[in-house]
Each structure stands twice: as C-alpha cells, then as structure tokens.
Amino acid sequence: NAGVTQTPKFRVLKTGQSMTLLCAQDMNHEYMYWYRQDPGMGLRLIHYSVGEGTTAKGEVPDGYNVSRLKKQNFLLGLESAAPSQTSVYFCASRSRGYEQYFGPGTRLTVT
Amino acid sequence: GQQLNQSPQSMFIQEGEDVSMNCTSSSIFNTWLWYKQDPGEGPVLLIALYKAGELTSNGRLTAQFGITRKDSFLNISASIPSDVGIYFCAGQNYGGSQGNLIFGKGTKLSVKP
C-alpha cells in the first residue's frame, strides 16, 4: 500500500513550456486535491475532484488544468509555465471522512 | 477566502520543553486536523478532532477542539529533536464547499538539543 505517490519529484521548466504532474493513490479514495505551497503562504488549493470524471476549481486555479479520467489518478497540467508557478505541489486524497492524505510533493522551478 | 490564524509563526525551544500552538477562526468549524511536515516531505496527519471540547492524544501530542468551535490547540510534551518541522492546522467548516479543508499558514518548530 503506497498511499499517495507523485511524479516527478523535481522538475525545471523554461517559461512557456508545458508539463503534467501525475498523482496516484491506491486507497480507493473518492476525493483528490492539488495544492501549491509557497513560503509563508501555507497550502493553497488549486483544483480538486469529488470523483472519477469530475473536477472543480479551488482557490488559485488560473494557469492550471486537471483531469481525473481514472479514480486512482489525478493529473495537473501547466499549459504555458510562468515563473510565478515556481512552487512545491502536493496532491492529497480522502475518502468520505475529512482527513486528507498527502503525497511527497513535486518541486517545480520555472526559469 | 476564509483563513485560519495560526500562532505562533515560529518557535525555537530547548529539547525537553513543552510546546503549545493554536489556530483560530472567525467561523465555526466541525472538524479540526493537525498535520506535521518534515523538511522536503508532504504533510502527515497527526490528530483529527470531530467534537467540540474533544481532547485527543497521539503519544506526546495532545490536541483539543475548542468549545466555541472556532479554535483548536496542539501541545507537544517533552520535545525531542525529531519534533522539528512545520505544524499545520486545518479545519472544515459548516457549509464548506465539498468538504474542502482550510489550512493555517503553519508553525515552524526548531528544537535545540
């Protein structure tokens, strides 16, 4: 039981490049989340999903897109990366309770 | 958006000391969670609270759900070097969108051996 995994762990992009971050969970959780963490800002919700095939916007969705084609996977896409998207990205999942379980994070640098 | 006020922002203590931190909100919450984040890792759930007045322990950690439903407290007794990290509170409030959590900005704990 690996819990929540994220790939890649690190990535450097140039401004304007695109990439996809993958989150996978093996706990059969319905809900999945993408957060970004910046110094002094805590965790901010980007997008979330309440089930396979559904997505919704969180607090800071601009510049990101997501897809949940399979229950166990939640993808976060950056179509045209900007330096302001330099951050650490965390995925989380939960079942019907409110406890969210986090992945190890992806550190993204946009130059 | 709604925010949680978490304090203190940072603490620098001696090994063996007890630690207290808290979170407050302007609105009522029905769930409080406490997480710890080690450097370079994702947050790990420490304690979950569901009832006003509830007091729950996890080893040397004790957390309480405030009776007003607007605050929560975390205490660490007899701190050790591995307690170093950032502690986050998170809450879910009545009427909150899809059960999403609201996070505090964290308390950074440093422990001097």
pLDDT digits (tens, 9 = 90+) for B29-49: 999 999 999 999 999 999 999
Size of interface A-B (CB pairs under 8 A): 49
Give the C-alpha separation, B94 to A19, whole Å.
36
Q: Which of B100, B105, B107 to substitute to test the interface with A, most A CBs within 10 Å?
A: B100
**pLDDT given at position B97:** 61
Give the amino acid at B59: G
Give the C-alpha separation, A33 to B76, whole Å.
29
Chain A touched by B72 (CB under 8 Å): no
List of chain B residues with pLDDT < 50:
none
**pLDDT given at position B113:** 85
Q: Distance between alpha carbon B100 and the CA centroid of its chain, in Å? A: 17
pLDDT in tens, A36-90: 999 878 899 999 999 999 999 999 999 999 999 999 999 999 999 999 999 999 9
A84, exposed or middle or buried, with CB in 10 Å at 0-12, 13-18, 19+? exposed
C-alpha torsion angle, residues A54, A57, A62, A68 (rounded to 10): -20
Neighbours of A87 (CB within 10 A): 21
Which strands, in side-by-side order, build the sheet including A4-7?
A: A4-7, A19-25, A73-78, A65-67
Chain A touched by B48 (CB under 8 Å): yes
Q: Residue A98 — pLDDT band, cuts 50, 70, 90? A: confident
Give the C-alpha separation, A103 to B44, whole Å.
9
